[in-house]
Amino acid sequence: MKISGKVALITGGAGGLGKAFAAALLRAKAKAVCLVDISSRGKEVAEDLRLQYPPSQVDFYHCDVMNYDLFKGAFDFVQKRFGAIDIVCNNAGMAASDHNVSGSIRTLRLNLEAVYFGTKLGMDYMDKESGRGGVIINVASMAAFLPLMGSMCYNASKAGVVALTKSAGVPEQYEMTGVRVNALCPSFTETPLLDTSSGLREMIAQLPNHPIMSPEYVAEGFQQLVENEELCGAVMRVTPQKGIEIVPNRRKDRNSSSKL
Ligand SMILES: NC(=O)C1=CN([C@@H]2O[C@H](COP(=O)(O)OP(=O)(O)OC[C@H]3O[C@@H](n4cnc5c(N)ncnc54)[C@H](O)[C@@H]3O)[C@@H](O)[C@H]2O)C=CC1
Ligand SMILES: CCC(=O)/C=C/C=C\C[C@@H](O)/C=C/C=C/C=C\[C@@H](O)CCCC(=O)O
């Protein structure tokens, strides 16, 4: 997909990775980006991006994406304001330790259930019948493959995002909707998320050859997933050790999916 002239909706857009994804799209001449976030910081982030990347339009839409109806309202807002949606990034997320049961349940809901909402809504609003096709990027994590000690729900939620994305990205689905769906799995990246768990930075520092990456580097992988029309149902890993890589998809060796 050529990003120039396109319209994007990014959840968690006020956060470290969300802002970097928005900036990457704006540098590539996206027509408009809407930052959907529960934090009112989104207003300042949108203002900052407008100043940095004129004449692109950058809006902030205050929303709790864990509420389906409110989240649908964000899609209606973008569709009405810009006439179309081409790119959806389900990026909003959080982490909680196993000791915090309510936080762990909220983590599962935000990181997985809300990503399902955003994937379903993205397919509905961008479907080639009602829309003009498009691409959905679901932000998972390397924790989906290499679990973090003490964060069962975080690890499970991210593994769920990978499975959800592979399901949504099967060729038959793409043929029907014209919407590609890919997963982005970064390792540790310099954002406020790293400060939400005490001792995490110290733990990371103990890991051999595991420097914390910049959001801008992860956004390079994000942009590849948006632009490369060959990628659908793809899982991309971004790590300091191996850089940006697509996980081989064994399913491509089979010639049809199992239909229910
Ligand atoms: N920072 C890292 O090391 C890594 C982060 N990730 C994932 O990247 C995504 C973005 O996280 P970061 O930018 O690192 O963290 P961040 O904390 O900077 O950004 C998260 C954003 O999500 C928003 N948010 C939280 N709950 C929300 C809700 N109910 N509705 C709408 N927005 C909500 C927050 O207000 C915040 O702006 C998350 O899914 C995270 O799990 C994945 C791998 C590594
Ligand atoms: C509650 C703590 C928590 O879940 C914090 C998450 C923080 C960062 C985002 C996360 O998505 C990054 C995961 C990166 C994992 C990369 C490699 C693993 O092999 C690290 C394993 C570290 C360990 O041995 O526990």
Atom in ligand 1 nearest the alpha carbon of residue 212: 3
Neighbours of 48 (CB within 10 A): 14
Residue 107's pLDDT is 98
How much distance in Å is there from the Cα of 18 to the middle of ligand 1? 7
Residue 260's pLDDT is 56
In short, whether 151's Cβ falls inside 6 Å of ligand 2 is: yes
Domain positions in the chain: 7-259
Residue 252's pLDDT is 54
How much distance in Å is there from the Cα of 184 to the middle of ligand 2? 15
Residue 91: nearest ligand to its CA?
1
In short, whether 197's Cβ falls inside 6 Å of ligand 2 is: yes
Catalytic (active site) residue 61 = no
Signed CA dihedral, 198, 65, 191, 210: sign only: positive
User: Contact, 23 vs 52, CB < 8 A?
Assistant: yes
Q: Is the peptide bond before 55 cis (omega within 30 degrees of 0)?
A: yes
> What's at 10, amino acid-wise?
I
Q: Is the peptide bond before 186 cis (omega within 30 degrees of 0)?
A: no
- The CATH classification number of 7-259 equals 3.40.50.720
What does each of the 260 residues of the chain score in pLDDT, given as a tens digit? 999 999 999 999 999 999 999 999 999 999 999 999 999 999 999 999 999 999 889 999 999 999 999 999 999 999 999 999 999 999 999 999 999 999 999 999 999 999 999 999 999 999 999 889 999 999 999 999 999 999 999 999 999 999 999 999 999 999 999 999 999 999 999 999 999 999 999 999 999 999 999 999 999 999 999 999 999 999 999 999 999 999 987 665 454 455 55
Six-digit token pair at 155? Answer: 């690890």
Alpha-helical segments (H) within 169-196: 171-177
User: Contact, 225 vs 184, CB < 8 A?
Assistant: yes
d(CA 252, CA 76): 35
Residue 49's pLDDT is 98
7-11 and 87-90 beta bridge pairing = parallel
Residue 254's pLDDT is 53
Residue 248's pLDDT is 81
d(CA 56, CA 68): 28
User: Contact, 94 vs 106, CB < 8 A?
Assistant: yes
In short, whether 100's Cβ falls inside 6 Å of ligand 2 is: no
Please name which of 48, 130, 244, 128 lies closest in space to residue 33, comparing C-alpha atoms: 48
> What's at 224, amino acid-wise?
Q
User: Contact, 187 vs 204, CB < 8 A?
Assistant: no
Task: Tell me the ipTM for this assembly.
Answer: 0.96
d(CA 56, CA 48): 12
Six-digit token pair at 100? Answer: 């915090």
